[in-house]
Structure 1
């Protein structure tokens, strides 16, 4: 594992809970760089929130170490760690004003009044709540309350800001706006953000890098493009976006035969296994004339999705293959339900999975 000088290093973390059949975290190691927007992504129960709570000091690992900026912190109590957390519930104090909420941590550290006033004003401006310092939480929208929680967590200038699914309670439009706001704030402050979510779209939109987790383990770490375009295994390919998965037999290096007899060129190795899984993203395929394609089938359904159409093609042999095409030319439809079509694959679109 490559260690960081000023970021976060977790080494061989194991965590179990009483009564659980297996550890929640199984020998998890990762390094997060300074000033990075890093996302822990995975389904419910995969261990991502437990990992975040270990970093925050809200849980204690069975074994392993946690370093922040080169200093071991796993023996420190939460209030001594250079870390703050924004929870899903926001947890802002309803009896305090916005300004009092933001100032709470600074007052607990007995900072001078002039410093507190200046920092509160700076935080209000940063989260775009200028002029709202005297409001109570009940007078704010959900998105504004989320901004207050964020400002309070940032006021103490932590080295790491931990965000535990803070956008999940917001509606779709507001959630999208807050994604942009979080990325803007992180870029302006240069603080490392560690964001927990089960939402792949949030992860792809905001992250510098993503760790995909399943069953207490990290399966792949990479940029959004790396995770999406070159998934390490079947779980990552299925969890991040849509994908077509097909079993195939290896013929030679880079050539694979489907059960239907069609031979495809593909990238990847899957440890030179004889039987592999091929992955093709729906947008990496297109509908063409049957005579021009190796894969052919019948359009069984067409879903109109606004900017795109999703075609469900039953290939010869019975496999349902999805094709996503952008609605250009004023939404002209490429093929109708029941039409016999060919499937054209873009170069380097087929991946071999382990």
Structure 2
């Protein structure tokens, strides 16, 4: 005998439980209290279970005017940082009955093709990194409830912004190196037009100018290890050697390591190196990297909490997320100058 593969409907459940379809909708939508008796509600639940009935949530959500789907817009997933952001955001989304869709915007490739025929119809809101802000235009995400990550709170497209305290992290690095006696710095800056990287550059320059006798040079690099190696190699060949290289992230620091070793310089005996992110890479290189720990999962959680607040008409929590310097073997006092 052929197996009946017809999907059961709410009418089937109503017939099996001996109630109306309206009662089935109330019970399975958890709105039955005060309108349907407890024995009737239990009878409906049992009938739905026995028939293997599952409500069409997509159709129900569209009738209600929402899909309970959030879009997370990030750069290409080339480091575990944005994977951590996704993990944290997805955790909070799931706790509140939302799904989270990831939309990467690879640098040099352009935003991915819009996976939605109409973002306004398919999404309830968007969380976007400022490093992938161009992708918002492609999906018209800036016309939806929007929370921006790592974005200027005074000029953000979003209804709310969530930031890590990158300025304080940069000051912690500068103070650590100054405390070791360093006065000559090379800033290996990410060649990315993003507010968060401008904050790093501005904060480092402001902190160092308060100390007499310090010098600061800047060289830029795409966020790739080999590009960073080339940038540091050219910077050290074309000018005086610094005693410390301050890198905008850990991948750039790994590239700096390669450049210094090929130039016959030792870390940290001849030159100190710092990163920012505290990726797994930071403890895979030798010596282990002094860097600033950013809690990516907490960042994602805070972003999702902020969007949920916006959707509920509430004011999101204020204040940047604290970051912490992790001192390892890549920094030491500078060598004596000849």
Q: Same fold (TM over 0.5)?
A: no
Q: Which has the higher helix share?
A: 2
TM-score of the aligned structures, taking structure 1 as reference length: 0.27
TM-score of the aligned structures, taking structure 2 as reference length: 0.28
